[in-house]
Structure 1
Amino acid sequence: MKKQSILGIMLSCAVLGACYLTKPQIVTAAPASIFTPILRDIKNQIPRGWVMRLPSSVNLSNTKLYPQVITNSPREFAIWLNSRPNCMDRSCQFGVIAVAKDSEYADNLRSKHIFSKTYMQRVKAIRQRNSQTWTESETKLLISSDMVVLERTPITLKPGIQGVFIVQNGGGASTPPSLHVFWKQDGLNYRATIKGGFDYERSVVIQSQKSALINLAVSMAKESPIKSAN
């Protein structure tokens, strides 16, 4: 009996040991390392009762990006992704990730009429001509094409979280086109935005930039929320 008991204990230990060794390891993702220097600022400056989500990776550009907390708008908590450190000028702003309680900007883009590819080709043809040859109706078409929605596509960021991908036309040389992903989560409105992403020559979205932005938004939606320290 004693030998059987010892043998039973040895077998149990062997099984438990095997279970321990083969037990899958749980890996918790963390915000991308570029956000490490500003994590404390985010926790201290995000409005009380709000949360922020940061992606675990940022693969938007071959250029190094520098995140910076921007709090000039009381209705939105934003992190600019800049091409230069400590830059407050929009000329160096490459992208934005943000959270807001209410977002008229997002609601407006969700409801705007979509400016068709045919109209964009007409706009392109008009701009290629001398401005002195533009008719009144052509001038109105050029004006109406500023900041319009060129594409709006529903997307799924994670089970139960739906978003929308939107392409917005620029507003002249100083305002390039932009790509957006908007979604609602935690009772808040999130957005991820990058400048550019639209090929005017072919009147199409640059697919690599579209995929990169959607992947970033998916990562944000899946990450654990960062709470206010206040």
Structure 2
Amino acid sequence: MEIFPESSFFKERRAPALPTPDEIRAINKATGGIRSTNFNRPTPVIVPSLGLVVKYGADVAIVEAQIQMMVHKQLQDRTLAERWPSMNENERRYVCEELKQMVNAWRTLEHGGHDHFIGSLGKRPLNEIFLRNHSALAGPFQGADTVQPVQASCDIDIDLEVASVFTHDDLVPCNIILLSGPVPKVAAVIDWGQAGWYPTYWEFCKARRVTLLPKYFDSVSQEEWHNTYLPMIIYPVDEETYYYPWLWFVLSKGI
């Protein structure tokens, strides 16, 4: 287990040590949630007394902690999915504009000291959940044209020249935290475990494809999000040119 002593938990001396894995699993199991004992992606555990949000499971990689060493200071803040039904049109548009600026900012992130590549932080393979059972397709891909190799490997039939940009890759309402208070404002975007450098169209295609469970986001809200509000946040891609070839990759791999 890798420890990050520079994190706020240790700097603020909230406790002598972190909770043990067994303690976290026991807390999760006690909630009775349908994913509380899931091996790959159990529900994250919140420990308010320690100011901790704990993500764990077979699909959670160290790279997520390296991308985002973050513990929420205001655990009373709620997700966009939770507040969405009570928000009016102006509030929704305001939040979408904030998110648009955030997306545009992280899409400018450079590769650091590495040459251009498609992959996760540190030139690691992509942690894309759609590639979980297809590790040979996860790269990293590098070279003069970094996008073409990943498209060829994944059978994504796009002939146009495409750049690569830093991508969150799980931009859904339950990963968007709003500040508590009467006026909804974005506090943070969480869950960066799948983030990395992907083709430019990937962020929109993935966000449009992913559907949350109805208990977290009902079907009406989900449709509004995909069709009306997501295009306000991420510039929509042409369906015939980008989305359908990308969707074919997802469906053809049995995902």
Instruction: From the two aligned structures, give the one with the greater strand fraction.
Output: 1
- TM-score if structure 1 supplies the norm length? 0.26
- TM-score if structure 2 supplies the norm length? 0.24
